[in-house]
Homo-oligomer: A and B are copies of this chain.
Amino acid sequence: MENLVSLSGFPEGDLEATIVERAVCDILREVFELHGFAGISTRAVEPVKELLKKGETSKEIYLLRRLQEDPLRAASSKKQLGLHFDLTVPFARYVRENAGRLAFPFKRYQIQKVWRGERPQDGRFREFIQADIDVVGDGELPVFFDTEVALVMVDALERLPLPGVTLLVNNRKVVEGVCESLGVNDVEAALRCLDKLDKIGAQGVSEEMVEAGIAQEAIDVLISMAQIEGNAEDVRAGLGALNVSSALLDEGLEELTQLLNECAERASGKVRAALRIARGLDYYTGTVYETVVEGHEDLGSICSGGRYDSLVTVGKRCFPGVGLSIGVSRLVSRLLSANLVSVTRPVPTAVLVAVTSEEERSLSNSIAAALRERGISTDVSPEAAKFGKQIKYADKRGIPYVWFPSSGEVKDIRTGEQVKADANEWTPPVEDARPQVRPA
- A residues lining the B interface (CB < 8 Å): 4, 6-7, 10-15, 18-19, 21-22, 33-45, 47-48, 58-68, 71-72, 74-75, 81-83, 94, 97-98, 101, 103, 105, 107, 113, 115, 117, 127, 137, 142, 144-145, 155, 262, 265-266, 346-349, 361-362, 365, 369, 372, 375-379, 382, 396-397, 434
CB pair A12–B44 under 8 Å, yes or no, is no
A63 to B14, CA, bound (A): 26
Take A67-B82, A67-B117, A97-B4 as given contacts and tell me if A142 and B382 are in contact as well, using a CB distance cutoff of 8 Å.
yes
Once the chains are docked, how many angstroms separate the CA of A312 from the CA of B372? 31
Q: Cβ of A372 and Cβ of B34 under 8 Å apart?
A: yes
Cβ-neighbour of A58 out of B67, B74, B75, B137 (below 8 A): B67
- Contacts A65-B65, A113-B44 known; A36 to B71 CB distance under 8 Å? no
Once the chains bind, are A94 and B38 in contact (CB under 8 Å)?
no
A59 contacts B64, C-beta separation under 8 Å: no
Q: A65-B63, A74-B71 are in contact. Are A36 and B144 (CB under 8 A)?
A: no
A354 to chain B, nearest CB (A): 14
User: What are 21 of the A-B contact pairs (CB < 8 Å)?
Assistant: A12-B41, A12-B42, A18-B39, A22-B39, A35-B378, A36-B378, A36-B379, A39-B348, A44-B113, A58-B67, A59-B67, A61-B66, A62-B67, A63-B64, A63-B67, A64-B64, A65-B75, A66-B117, A103-B397, A155-B372, A266-B369
Closest CB of chain B to A195's CB: distance in Å? Answer: 23
CA distance A326 to B167 in the complex (A): 42
- Distance of A357 from chain B, by nearest CB (Å): 13
> Roughly how many angstroms separate A216 CA and B265 CA in the complex, as a whole number?
86
Interchain CB contact under 8 A, B61 and A63: no
CB distance from A378 to the nearest CB of B (A): 6
